Amino acid sequence: MYKPQNILKQYWGYSQFRPLQKEIIEAVLEEKDVLALLPTGGGKSLCYQLPAICKPGLCLVISPLIALMKDQVDQLNKQGIKAYAIYTGITNREIDIILDNCIYGDVKLLYVSPERLQTDLFCERVKKMNINLLAVDESHCISQWGYDFRPMYLKITEFRNENLPEINTIALTATATDRVIADICEKLDLKSPKQFKASFARKNLSFAVRQVEHKEDKLLEILKNVPGSALVYARSRKKTKEIADLLLRQKISVDYYHAGLGHDQRMKKQESWKKGQTRVIVATNAFGMGINKENVRVVVHYDLPDNLEAYYQEAGRAGRDGKKAYAVILYHPGDKQLLNTYFENAHPSIELMKRIYQALANYYKIAVGSNMLSYFDFDITDFCNSFNLNNSETYYAIRKLEEEGFIELNESFYHPSKISLNIDKTDLYKFQIANETFDPLIKVLLRLYGGELFGNFVRISENQVARMLNSSTLKVKNQLEHLNTLKVITYDRMRDKPQLAFVTPRYDASKLPLDKQHLANRSTIQKIKLEAILNYVERSDQCRTSMILEYFSERVFEDCGYCDYCLEKKRKISKSDHDRVKEMVIFELKKGPKFPEELTKLFSNQDFTILDEIIRNLTDQELLWYDDSGRLVWGEK
């Protein structure tokens, strides 16, 4: 077993752990069950990635976020740590190769969605793997009181007990109340878990709510007063562009981002902002996961988020470098009604959900009992037009079907082109001799991507291949398709359209097991969360930081001193102290002239600065003057 400190330096380049990381990693290496609650930016992923490297075998990571899985796998591979992710949208052939590599290769981390645990193929192959740790990321998803409940998370314990009974588990989350923490421990059946909970307090982050009539003016004021990189969250795709256009007209360096943009566009906008070439990015909540930009000075929520968990996570993207930063919500009185309307729309009737489910089955021509975890390109406009459906109602119904574990919709899906050679080197050589037309293409592929093509799916660029062949990209794609047909290669073409998958075998819509009571309970819980965020923005009589900490069950003994409430309180206290000192000075001097030293004896040390300021102001106004002996005299000279 390798030493954690050495691994940290070798692969991550750090000489020290962040708070609690070392203790969590030590507990994991002692093969204890662990619950780690580390707020956004606290370095959760290292707590299972590093132990996975320290021990023989691989770590199985369960995560619901495809974008985050792909981002982490890419980052690990760049660091020289072999990792894979299996998610809805990759081919069965690629899944087969990945599983084989995890059994026979030197893979250290395998990321999977919770739905994958229900497939016979995965359960059969995982028993042959040398699993050294089970990591359950975003573990709040197992609780109905978590802000992103996923029914499939409830199946994790059964999977672990049947397939990995001796393996210890680490559950990780960034946001959880005591109720959610208890749910995680119980529903994951953690054995005497060691719990680590970092404080939610961010001493460099100033929280504020600005109740305004004109949000545009206030946003401009904030960006003028707070220099540096900024992130502005808006609820709709349309609004991200509108706000960006407004800021652009004011000569502010800005761009917008949402899931409806193509992959190349999203990556270009994201990278420009990360590198500081674009100062402000205006985005929907599709933006942020896996993006590690430390020097964000302000995060502004132009629209109200649905709950405090989501708000804390998004606001927490400010000030990760430890320097002063701001998190601001712009609140108009009409926002309350808007949020309630969104809430109503997000809870469609059972009848509508069944109707949309049936329409999806008809749209893709799926038979009852088939197509578990099969995926399809999804164009919501075309779908709604085909069945005369309302776009907004349909979207919310699909999201609710997703929340209930029947459908998965990935709006910002991107899968690069990949190929794998299906024959060995000897047979490939014979094929090249017999098929001269394909020989140049195969040689270029081998030159660019090497031996990895044998038995692995390798990401390729058809454009790069075409340039090396002095050919067109279309011709290269056609040749690759032909080789695929001949079964020489498996060619998985690039896809960047939204993907929709049936997570379970297709039900008869009339028998779709939707629990009316369960849906009502979920609605009640989400209503409580909505009221908590409204309480946060509407109150002005309590420290903002303490409101957030109390929501996450953290005991608070004093105000933070740097949120909008605390700063206003200081301003008011300062004015009252100023008035008190001024009255005492005038009262004493009306009795007769006094040396300044005599006045200072009447006040405490903390009042001396105020005393100096008052004497200076009164002498400037000629209400006070010094006599020849240096005494202060009240009245005209």
Torsion angles phi and psi, residue 147, rounded to 5:
-80, -5
pLDDT at 289: 67
Give the pair of three-digit tokens for residue 471: 């050919």
SS3 273: helix
Q: How many residues does the chain have?
A: 637
Beta-carbon count within 10 A of 606 CB:
8
115 contacts: CB under 8 Å, gap ≥ 6:
88, 152, 373, 408, 503
Yes or no: say if 389 and 369 are a contact pair by the CB < 8 Å rule.
no
Beta-carbon count within 10 A of 571 CB:
10
Give the pair of three-digit tokens for residue 71: 């981002």
Yes or no: say if 111 and 83 are a contact pair by the CB < 8 Å rule.
yes
Give the pair of three-digit tokens for residue 260: 């409806």
As a whole number of angstroms, the distance between CA 443 and CA 452 comes to 14
As a whole number of angstroms, the distance between CA 635 and CA 637 comes to 7
SS3 444: helix
Strand 58-62 vs strand 131-136: parallel, antiparallel, or unpaired? parallel
As a whole number of angstroms, the distance between CA 401 and CA 349 comes to 11
Give the pair of three-digit tokens for residue 446: 């081998």
Torsion angles phi and psi, residue 592, rounded to 5:
155, 165
Distance set, CA 462 to CA 12, 441, 457 (Å)? 32, 11, 15
- Ranges under pLDDT 70 in the chain: 1, 289-290, 573, 606, 609
pLDDT at 287: 86
Cα 276–Cα 277–Cα 278 angle in degrees, nearest 5: 90
SS3 634: strand
- 184 φ/ψ sector (left φ>0, alpha ψ -120 to 50, else beta): alpha
As a whole number of angstroms, the distance between CA 64 and CA 354 comes to 24
Q: What is the pLDDT of residues 217-229, one digit of tens each?
A: 999 999 999 999 9
Query: Which DSSP helix (H) or strand (E) runs through 206?
Result: strand 205-211
Sign of the dihedral through C-alpha 505, 508, 509, 514: negative
Beta bridge partners of 490: 420
SS3 48: helix
Yes or no: say if 169 and 34 are a contact pair by the CB < 8 Å rule.
yes
pLDDT at 606: 64
Yes or no: say if 576 and 348 are a contact pair by the CB < 8 Å rule.
no
Give the pair of three-digit tokens for residue 184: 């995680």
As a whole number of angstroms, the distance between CA 518 and CA 468 comes to 58
As a whole number of angstroms, the distance between CA 461 and CA 457 comes to 13
Beta strands in 113-248 (DSSP E): 131-136, 169-173, 194-197, 205-211, 229-233
Instruction: Select from 200, 156, 167 the least CA-distant residue to 34.
Output: 167
As a whole number of angstroms, the distance between CA 164 and CA 524 comes to 36
Instruction: Select from 104, 65, 60, 67 the least CA-distant residue to 84.
Output: 60
